Structure 1
């Protein structure tokens, strides 16, 4: 539950309490392309995790998962941060946190309904468009997305070691799988800040994009996936990716053989093959939920 990193703070993002109170914590849009866009919308708090932002995020994610019209989910943020960590009472009060007050913190309430790994359990691909600074809990959430794009110059940090905390909520599981053991040890144990460009070199993000082009590029990628990939295939392959991570190769291969047989019984397979030979875009049915 790494606290929001005040080293990322930007005074230009500060809004009055009245303005902030009127703003939806998470924006939600379902586009005609089949892509749902969730936007963290507390820029005055660096989109710090907790409260209305966390509950709004879960509610919209569940809506996207249940909506047959949604095929791909994109997550991004407003302002200069994607999510700069857990909200422990506001950036201006973090320095006043004491051992006594920290011991009274309800961690489960701060994290809210689910741990970040629940993104890996969804049937639909999740793509993070990391628009700015991402730290602690925000990084845990971003790494549990299936694919990540990042704005050039965006700052990344695990930050836990520098807050007297530990590798939280599955980040010690996902990070070595994304970047390897040695790099994961470096990023977790040093808690150092690094930038989007290094994140791409390490394999944490797919592409680094100029900030003004980030959402357009991410949406283009997501919409191409939504238009051309069978929702049933995406759902099964996503389960395979995460479930097979700790399985032996023989067991994984045997399981895949059965899954392949099952996929060939679905109408998606016929449509995919027919579209290929007819040189047209496939018209896959929505995922049955």
Structure 2
């Protein structure tokens, strides 16, 4: 598939999606949002893909929304709603109240079966930060920096930031980063529990190694179910989450991956999981 503002690379069982507007520090556009969603959905539907990595081309990850777009919107010369992604209200026929939560600009990432890994190679701000909050893992180069940015543009916490950021680093720390919109170095972001820091030299290769370590010996089916359990549980009671776990355990016991999980352990060989 051909893309204008992202690159799609396949290495072994991993897919790397690269935000590709390096001359603009990969500033966000509606085209980029649509292409990212399409690429993630394609990778998620491919049974041979085990992990999805998202990173930026050049020296940055994503500088936030394209400032030319914001400038035009501030002067009432542009319909921002036609240029940047818009949230879809309500749900499709057959969607449950729970499922509707996963239809938004970035919340769909929580519903993918594959781990989504953000490789923050350089500066990241605004909507770019919103994106990585909805990734399952966030690795950050030790030279990179981040900012929420919104308050310094007269804007608010958009695209689920007000819901996700406090769950990752606590309400007080989240309000600090959102109110001040200050620059945060990688070391502080790691102390807050927002990211794991890796050396800038060889950064993307190190992230790919981490991704491989996480998924190479584990059942893709198990990973997909557990990911869904974790994010659904944020919207459930303990009793509801417990009942889901009981039902999913029964399904797991009937799966091919369960049989393979027992067999490879007893036979002392590497696993050959199919994800079924």
Give me the TM-score of the superposition, normalised by structure 1: 0.83
Equivalent residue runs for 1:26-105 within 5 Å: 26-32=6-12, 34-89=13-68, 98-101=74-77, 104-105=78-79
Of 230, 247, 261 in structure 2, the residue corresponding to residue 258 of structure 1 is 247
SS at match of 1:86: coil
Please report how far the alpha carbon of residue 258 of structure 1 lies from its aligned counterpart in structure 2 after TM superposition: 1.6
C-alpha displacement at 1:97, in angstroms? Answer: 6.0
Matched, 1:271 2:260: yes
| Alpha-carbon distance in 2 for matches of 1:112, 1:70 | 29
Alignment coverage as a number of residue pairs: 258
- Provide the residue aligned with 2:85 in structure 1: 111
Which consecutive unaligned segments of at least 5 residues does structure 1 have? 1-22
Larger RCO: Structure 1 or Structure 2 (Cα < 8 Å, ≥ 6 residues apart)? 1
Gaps of 5+ in 2: 88-103
Change (3 A) 1:87 1:98: same
User: C-alpha root-mean-square deviation of aligned residues, in Å?
Assistant: 2.0
Aligned pair in 2 of structure 1 residues 275, 108: CA closer, same or farther (>3 Å)? farther
Query: What is the distance in 1 between the residues matched to 2:46 and 2:5?
Result: 21
Whether the 8 Å contact between 2:53 and 2:119 is mirrored in structure 1 is yes
- Correspondences of 1:101-250 after superposition (within 5 Å): 101=77, 104-107=78-81, 109-111=83-85, 115-205=105-195, 207-250=196-239
What TM-score results when the alignment is normalised by the length of structure 2?
A: 0.87
Q: Is the 8 A contact 1:55 1:112 kept in 2?
A: no
The residue that corresponds to 1:282 in the other structure is 271
In structure 2, how many angstroms separate the alpha carbons of the residues matched to 1:254 and 1:97?
48
SS of the equivalent of 1:246 reads coil
Q: Distance in 1 between matches of 2:83 and 2:31?
A: 12
> What's the offset of the Cα at 1:248?
1.8
| DSSP-derived class of the 2:178 partner | helix
* 1:51 CA displacement: 4.2
- Asked whether the 8 Å contact 1:29–1:36 carries over to 2, the reply is yes
What stretches of structure 1 move > 4 A for 4+ residues in a row? 94-97
Structure number with higher helix proportion: 1
Where 1:123 maps in the other structure, the secondary structure is: coil
Q: Is the 8 A contact 2:73 2:80 kept in 1?
A: no
Kept in 1: contact 2:73–2:79 (CA 8 A): no
